[in-house]
Amino acid sequence: MPHISRRTALTLGTAAFAAPAFGLSPRPPAKIEQWSVFETALTGPKHGNPFRDIALSGIFECGSKLQEAAGFYDGDGVWRIRFMPDRPGNWRFRTTSNARELDGKTGTFAALPASPHNHGPVAVANTFHFAYADGAPYFPFGTTSYAWTHQSDVQCALTLKTLAAAPFNKLRFAVFPNGDTAGIPLYPFVGTPHAWDFTRFNPAFFRRLEYFVGRLRDLSIEADIILFHPYDGGKWGFDAMPPEVDERYLSYLIARLSAYRNVWWSLANEYDIIKAKTEADFDRLFQVVRAGDPYGHLRSIHNLHKIYDNNKPWVTHASLQNGSAVEDDARAMLYRDVWRKPVVFDEVKYEGNIAKRWGNLSGKEMVRRVWAGTIGGTYVGHGEAIEDNEHRMFLGEGGLLRGESPARLAFFKKIIEEGPLAIDPIDKWQDRHLGGVPGRYYLRYFGCETPREWPFVLPKDGVTAGQSFAVDVIDTWNMTVAGVPGTFTLRKADEYSFTADRAVPLPQRQYMALRIRRVS
Which parts of this chain interact with a copy of itself (CB under 8 A)? 305-307, 309-311, 322-325, 327-328, 330-331, 334-335, 337-339, 355-357, 428-431, 495-496
> At closest approach, how far in Å is the CB of 131 from a copy of itself?
23
CB of 149 to a copy of itself, least distance (A): 30
Note the helical H segments in 340-440. Answer: 363-375, 394-397, 405-417
Cα–Cα distances (Å) from 353 to 139, 381, 392, 485, in that order, read: 28, 18, 12, 42
- DSSP run (H or E) holding 247: helix 243-257
Q: What are the φ/ψ torsions at residue 66 (nearest 5 degrees)?
A: -135, 130
Rounded Cα distance between 238 and 248, Å, is 13
φ, ψ of residue 365 to 5 degrees: the values are: -70, -35
Separation CA 63–CA 67 (nearest Å): 11
Nearer to a copy of itself, 50 or 436 (CB): 436
Q: Which is nearer to a copy of itself, 113 or 451 (CB)?
A: 451
CB of 289 to a copy of itself, least distance (A): 21
Q: Classify strands 106-112 and 31-33 as parallel, antiparallel or unpaired.
A: parallel
Distance of CA 170 to the CA centre of its chain: 4
235 or 358, CB closer to a copy of itself?
Answer: 358
| Shortest distance in whole angstroms from residue 270 CB to a copy of itself | 14
Nearest to 79 by CA among 247, 212, 252: 252
Residue 16 Cβ vs a copy of itself, minimum distance, rounded to whole Å: 42
Q: Shortest Cβ distance from residue 327 to a copy of itself (Å)?
A: 7
CB closer to a copy of itself, 134 vs 309:
309
CA 476 to chain centre: 24
Least distance (Å) between residue 408 CB and a copy of itself: 23
Decide if 14 contacts 211 (C-beta within 8 A). no
Nearest residue (CB) to a copy of itself, 81 versus 343 = 343
C-beta closer to a copy of itself: residue 87 or 331: 331
3-state SS, residue 209: helix
Q: Which residue number, 429 or 449, has a Cβ lying nearer to a copy of itself?
A: 429
Burial 344-371 (b: 16+ CB within 10 A, else e): bbbbbbbbbeeeeebbbbebbbbbbbbb
Are 493 and 457 contacting, i.e. CB atoms less than 8 angstroms apart? Answer: yes
Nearer to a copy of itself, 133 or 348 (CB): 348
Question: Does an H or E element contain 345, and which?
Answer: strand 343-347
Which one, 324 or 508, has the nearer CB to a copy of itself?
324
Residue number, 297 or 317, with CB nearest to a copy of itself: 317
Q: What would you report as the CA-atom Rg of the chain, rounded to the nearest whole angstrom?
A: 24
Distance CA 81, CA 56 (A): 8
What is the spatial distance between Cα 119 and Cα 137, in angstroms, rounded to a whole number? 9
Residue 199 DSSP label? E
User: In angstroms, rounded to a whole number, what is the distance separating the alpha carbons of residues 118 and 3?
Assistant: 9
Q: How far is the CB of 187 from a copy of itself (least distance, A)?
A: 33
CB of 486 to a copy of itself, least distance (A): 30
> Which residue lies nearer to a copy of itself by CB, 222 or 327?
327
Q: How many Cβ atoms from other residues are within 10 Å of residue 438's Cβ?
A: 16
Q: How far is the CB of 354 from a copy of itself (least distance, A)?
A: 11
Least Å distance, CB 271 to a copy of itself, is 14
What is the layout of strands, in order, in the sheet containing 299-300?
A: 142-144, 170-174, 222-228, 263-268, 299-300
For residue 481, give the 3-state DSSP assignment. Answer: strand
Residue 153 vs 328, nearer CB to a copy of itself: 328
Spatial contact of 145 and 396, defined as CB atoms under 8 Å apart: yes
CA 428 to chain centre: 26
- Which residue, 247 or 387, has its beta carbon nearer to a copy of itself? 387
According to DSSP, residue 271 is labeled G
For residue 285, give the 3-state DSSP assignment: helix
